[in-house]
Amino acid sequence: MRGIKNIRLKKFDYKSDGYYFVTVVADKRENIFKGREQEIESEPTDLKNKTLGLSLDYFVIMPNHAHIIFILRQCSFGLGEVVRRFKAKVSHKFQMFVWQPNYYEHVVRNEKALEKIRQYVINNPQEEIIKFEQFYK
């Protein structure tokens, strides 16, 4: 049996301070949240309020996924634990497992890229394939 492929940057410390663009996707890409997006919009904010060193830059809940830009500043947890806690809170609220394993992340490297990512999240949240190199042009 094959394990889940590790898609994280090798030798990168995901507990280090910075901006992280995360996308979590519903199990089987089903529209689990359609019409219920507002039910979980409080979860990222609640997580931020309960986690020392965690801030939110921007987030949007879509029918089958969520985009979140997390900011870690001497955070008590690494990015993986932050995402795990968010996914667990939402699953608990829905009283069922709702997420695909793992998540997509991108370490934001500069202000120009951050602004482009924000615009992407705001203007085109349904985009299926994210080409991160476009954020650095």
The residue-averaged pLDDT of 62-78 equals: 94
Helix (H, G, I), strand (E, B) or coil at 36: coil
Report in angstroms the alpha-carbon separations of 90 from 13, 37, 47.
Answer: 26, 11, 11
Look up residue 95 and give its amino acid: Q
Q: Is the pTM of this model over 0.75?
A: yes
What are 112-125's pLDDT values in tens digits? 999 999 988 887 65
The pLDDT of 13-36, averaged and rounded, is: 92
Q: Predicted confidence band at 1 (pLDDT cuts at 50, 70, 90)?
A: very low
CA-CA-CA-CA torsion sign (39, 44, 50, 56): negative
Looking at residue 86, what is its pLDDT?
A: 96
Contact 127, 120 (CB under 8 A): yes
**Can you tell me the mean pLDDT for 64-87?**
95
| Most distant CA atoms of the chain, gap in Å | 43
Q: Which position has the higher pLDDT, 115 or 128?
A: 115
pLDDT band at residue 35, thresholds of 50, 70 and 90?
Answer: confident
Q: What is the pLDDT of residue 51?
A: 96
Q: Residue 33: is it exposed, middle or buried by C-beta count within 10 angstroms (0-12/13-18/19+)? A: buried
Average pLDDT, the chain: 86
